[in-house]
Amino acid sequence: MSTDAECVLKGALLPDGRVADISIAGGKIIHVGAGRRADRTIDCTGLLCLPGAVDMHVHMRGGKDQGYKEDWTSGTQSALAGGVTMVVDQPNTLPPLTDKAAFAGRVAEATRDAYCRFGVNGYVSGASNIAALWEAGALAFGETFAAASSYGSAVSPEELGVIFAEIADLDALVTLHCEDVLPGDDTSLEAHAALRPEAGEKKCMEMLTARFPPGLSAHFCHLSSPISAEAAMAAMPATYEVMPHHLFLSIEEHGSVPDGHCKVNPPVRHEKVRKALWEMWDAIPVIASDHAPHTIAEKSQAFSAVPSGIPGVETMVPLLLAQVYRGRIALSSLLEKVVYTPAHLLGIPASTLMAGTPADLALYPRKETETITAELLHSRAGWTPYEGMQGVFPHITCVSGHLSYLRNEFSRAEELWVPGRGYKTSGS
């Protein structure tokens, strides 16, 4: 018997307060209202339906050298279990994605193993073939390291000026890691923050902004304080992102986890800075996770030897949705920061829960929060700096209408790669 829909999500609560059936076919929402006839109906009574989040800054690790930290399977399953239906992988892999062959290998690995949509950025360095990476399908360029960080070498200002012009000519987006790293002993969270100061972020941003050619689309990564966020707003139309770890963790307040587990670049700041960053919530354009997992053993070394990075793709939306339920932030503002603005910057479609838009959706309990524990999560890292905090985790996550995550069971959809606008197939 023919049916109108492949799947109906029945009785879901929409962000505007309506309760409706969401009918899906061909990877898109075809109707919101009374349910159509369907091959499959999922009872969503009591669940809040939100568009799937777009996390535009993750490090999925993988490959032969880093798969023990995370791989595309575990990382994208973590994404789905946190309501994220699209991730953008950063190119400071081992080796970095400087040419078409390395880029194609990364896409092939992700195509084989990923469970959610993914894009891959091109690496920015003097050795990078920017035009070839754009034609190979790079979604954007960067994060671009103006200061050295884990698996990323600093690019000189002179090289960046030349590369910026090339990226502007392609009408592509460049994303920027801005820090000024001072000499000294990196022995504690406080020392780490002093060696990578807030003022240094601003100084680096101003140095880069002075080299922006006309028409460059630029986005500042993981800003950690109001000082740098205000500098980004002064550089408009450049945009910027803030990470959950700079909103929820501080030097003084990071729960029960050891200090090394909270080592990240840029660093977590003092409690007064964290609180001041929250005060800027309405002005923040994008929230992204900077998901950068390392193992418990790696994060348990002497502080100076601990690699920087925090797992976070699975906890990003749950942490913030719990703040919505507490009345601290508006649901509409959360959706702007984790769905609509990142999708717009990347030039990709996002679900608006309207007919004709992608059926990339996540369904959450309407009121209940859950205590975050490492055992709850799916990353290979095996730990979380948010241990003991409250989150709201989805029961169901759909990618292109496919039930990719259904009450802790995972299933792979097809055709998950999202190439950039410059992509040229071998026959084009």
List 291's β-bridge partners, or say none: 58, 310
| Pick from 261, 239, 376: nearest CA to 309 | 261
CA distance 428 to 232: 38
- Residue 173 tokens read as 């987006």
For 115, residues 6+ apart whose C-beta sits below 8 A from its C-beta are 73, 76, 77, 79, 80, 399, 404, 405, 410, 411, 412, 413, 416
Residue with tokens 């290979």: 380
Rounded alpha-carbon distances, angstroms, from residue 319 to 154, 342, 370: 32, 18, 10
How many angstroms from the chain centroid is the CA of residue 105? 21
What angle in degrees, to the nearest 10, is found between the helix axes of 198-209 and 157-169?
60
Contact 3, 37 (CB under 8 A): yes
Alpha helices in 14-99 (DSSP H): 63-66, 72-81
Residues assigned a catalytic role: 290
CA distance 398 to 363: 9
For 236, residues 6+ apart whose C-beta sits below 8 A from its C-beta are none
Rounded alpha-carbon distances, angstroms, from residue 73 to 118, 288, 387, 411: 12, 20, 23, 11
